[in-house]
Chain A
Amino acid sequence: MISRYIAFSFLPFIFSTFAFAAKPGDLAPTCITEHIENGQTLDIANYKNKVIYVDFWASWCPPCKLSFPSLNKLHNELYKQDFEVIAINLDEDKNDALEFLQHNPVKFTVAYDGKGKCPSGYNVMAMPSSYIIDKQGVVREVHLGFNEDSINHIRKTVLTLLAE
């Protein structure tokens, strides 16, 4: 009898550690946020019929900084072919992100989500996390972290999805 109570008591502890991340094959979770510079609403759902690279980043994250020049280059190369990079900043202080962007200017879309609604929906497990979403709005690939070799793989996947 007591053992049943012990088991029951530990249920909240066990369930509080569960999480369901967006994975390849899932429909991209809803994500409505704002452009970092003008505050206009940005809805990921509006990018259907485009291949999008959704990148969750923060100014304090070294691999995020490493990824920006490569992503900017990829954006410049492929933006005319229905490809879009959407980098969603998750800094607690928006000014940190704006300062970062002054030192690391990019041409792709940068959004801000200080309250963490979008990463909660995607259940982001690491910084940076990125999701390649196809023209039908389905998550096709998930990347955790970023290193110098990552961009080649990302480019290959994006080109494959653009050709579909």
Chain B
Amino acid sequence: MNLVLSRCLCLSSGLMLGACTPNIQPWERGILAKPHMSTQSNAIEASLRQHLLLSKEASSGGHNAGGGGCGCN
């Protein structure tokens, strides 16, 4: 019983992980590239926040990814 259960668990977890594979093609990123899809809608405010983070926490980088979502940079 335990063996059957563990086999089912293995198969189902594998299948579920397969669904997590990012299958968005480079040409399907048009909507993601729109300005309102940006996590930082206000560039000036984002810059100020980064400055504060840098001065208070002594850390920088890793906050977002560069590029317009076209996979070209």
Contact = CB atoms under 8 A, between A and B. Distances in A.
A126 B72 contact: yes
A11 B7 CA distance: 14
Contact of A96 (B10, B15, B30): B30
B42 interface: no
A119 B27 contact: yes
B33 interface: yes
A16 interface: yes
B71 interface: yes
A2 B10 contact: yes
- Give the secondary structure class of A's interface: loop
Interface residues of A, number: 37
A124 B29 CA distance: 13
A38 B33 CA distance: 28
Interface stretch (A57-65, A68-76, A155-163): A57-65
A52 interface: no
Contact of A145 (B27, B30, B31, B72): B72
B21 A60 contact: no
A128 interface: yes
Given A60-B69, A127-B70, A144-B72, 14 more contacts: A2-B6, A2-B7, A5-B11, A8-B11, A9-B10, A10-B17, A13-B14, A13-B18, A13-B20, A16-B18, A16-B21, A63-B72, A119-B27, A125-B71
Interface of A: 1-2, 5-6, 8-13, 16-17, 56, 58-64, 90-93, 96, 116, 119-120, 124-129, 144-146
19 contacts: A2-B6, A2-B10, A6-B10, A9-B10, A9-B13, A10-B14, A16-B18, A58-B30, A60-B34, A61-B33, A61-B72, A62-B68, A92-B28, A92-B31, A119-B25, A120-B25, A124-B27, A125-B71, A127-B26
